[in-house]
Amino acid sequence: MEGDTIAAISTPVGEAGIGIIRVSGPKAHSIGEKVFRPKGGGGQGAAGLPDKLESHRLFYGHVIDAGTSEVLDEAMACFMASPRTYTREDVLEIDVHSGPRVLSRVLSAVLAAGARAAEPGEFTRRAFLNGRLDLAQAESVMGIIRAQTDAARRAAVEGLDGRLSKEIGRARRGIMQALAYIEATLDFPDEEIDPVPEGWLESRVEEALRVIEQLVASAGTGRILREGLPTVIAGRPNVGKSSLLNALLGTERAIVTPVPGTTRDAIEEGLNVRGIPLRVIDTAGLRQAVDAVERIGVERSRELVHRAGLVLLVLDAAEGLTADDREIAQELVGTGAPVLVILNKVDLGKPTVTERDIREVLPSGAVLLVSALTGEGLVELEEAIYQAVTGGRVMLGEGVAAGTARQEAALREAARYLNEARNSLRTTGGLDLAAIDLRGAADSLGRITGETAGEDLLDEIFSQFCIGK
């Protein structure tokens, strides 16, 4: 347990029904007694005022400035004694009305009573340091807060429950067993080590590798759930790209939240298609730029397409395939991203663009007939998007270990080490080398759950949290 006591406003600072100030550390109780004055027969029966804040009970009363005795607000306060708390330290939570002034006055009163202002993520960091959560679970807390869709939320809740940690623990145990055996063999070559069955060592490594490879495979899904799939709407001007985006936004049932844009020359919108979060980018167009200013936009568009996980190529069904369309389609071939071709404006009559025209320039990718104006074909488009992303697999929900970019990188590193170790074991006398790689793999995995995470890594992770979390 750390020595000092931290405090922060744990709810967004704005006008709302309730705002919460959270305090954690050894002084939590004494701070509560200084700044909170319970009213009525709180915890001590009808006889009178409770003389102290009993643990895990909610009290009604007032928050006061301990210096001047000024009443700052009506409040509810709950003191929770260590260790059954979020941080495993003593915790005090004070609920007041939410408003910038009242929250900052209450926080000041708490600080004056002996706390210091918490750093971003410091409550969760303490939960980690005190062993209540491992690092992967701590990151899941942020995953829950940031989840934009229900699927992302579900995956993060599973992460908090320790699903990823359990799998990693399983792989790491196998590696440690193999390592212990190798080290014993190397350190005491003359002694009789308990013999293991033929192939035991290899199978420990194989098993660990299998677990890790499955986790790596699911990490891509985790990333999509967390960050949204970068999706580009491509097409020459006036084919209906913006209309299509608006139509898709209009049909969605979930709440749409604007994603902080990384590009200035393209609109970026968060879109939820059957539980899959998409970050849709409506580009400035891909045709050759005529002047320098436009060229910047076009270059940006190219770059975006190359990084896209999905491209929606919009064509004007009524106008036929133009030279610009062909050029854009050519650009898309070779990006590797799945392309869905959308023949828009089908409300204007039978399309003049045929599937064969399209196949000449774009060998694969579903072709969909859509009208952004009337909404025709949008359900089919959503289905096609879902299929393109999931590949027909039911990917969202079960079996997903949502990984952050950091976790994914560490998993890949562990898999590389394990592959090397396996190769070394196949050659005679490779035990030394195998041990080095197994140690590397165990360290990589330990960085995910936190056993081998240094201060720098912890700083990096927890600084991404909000204050009060």
Using CA atoms in the order 48, 51, 52, 53, what is the torsion angle rounded to 10 degrees?
20
CA–CA distance, 100 with 26 (Å, rounded to integer): 27
Contact 77, 95 (CB under 8 A): yes
Smallest distance, Å, CB 363 to ligand GDP? 24
Smallest distance, Å, CB 297 to ligand GDP? 13
Q: Is 469 in the site for ligand GDP (CB under 6 A)?
A: no
| CB-count burial class (<10 Å; 0-12, 13-18, 19+) for 342 | buried
Site string for ligand GDP, 197-236 (x = CB under 6 A): --------------------------------------x-
Helix (H) / strand (E) element for 415: namely helix 405-426
Q: 394 Cβ partners below 8 Å, 6+ apart?
A: none
Smallest distance, Å, CB 230 to ligand GDP? 19
Cβ proximity to ligand GDP, 32 vs 240, nearer residue: 240
Q: Is 240 in the site for ligand GDP (CB under 6 A)?
A: yes
Judged by DSSP in three states, 1 sits in coil
Smallest distance, Å, CB 335 to ligand GDP? 20
Site for ligand GDP, residues 318 to 337, rule: CB under 6 A: none
User: Among 301, 223, 294, which residue's Cα sits nearest to residue 263?
Assistant: 301
Cβ proximity to ligand GDP, 239 vs 388, nearer residue: 239
Which member of 345, 422, 447, 469 binds ligand GDP (CB under 6 A)?
Answer: 345
Smallest distance, Å, CB 284 to ligand GDP? 10
CA–CA distance, 290 with 351 (Å, rounded to integer): 29
The tokens of 315 are what?
A: 């064509």
> What phi, psi does 97 have (nearest 5°)?
-70, 145
Q: Is 447 in the site for ligand GDP (CB under 6 A)?
A: no
Cβ proximity to ligand GDP, 204 vs 241, nearer residue: 241
Cβ proximity to ligand GDP, 182 vs 233, nearer residue: 233
Cβ proximity to ligand GDP, 46 vs 323, nearer residue: 323
Cβ proximity to ligand GDP, 284 vs 401, nearer residue: 284
CB burial string 152-168: b at 16+ within 10 A, e below:
bbbbbebbbebbbbebb
> What phi, psi does 220 have (nearest 5°)?
-60, -45
Q: Is 1 in the site for ligand GDP (CB under 6 A)?
A: no
Cβ proximity to ligand GDP, 238 vs 257, nearer residue: 238
The residues of the shown chain that bind ligand GDP, judged by CB under 6 A, are: 235, 237-243, 344-345, 347-348, 371-373
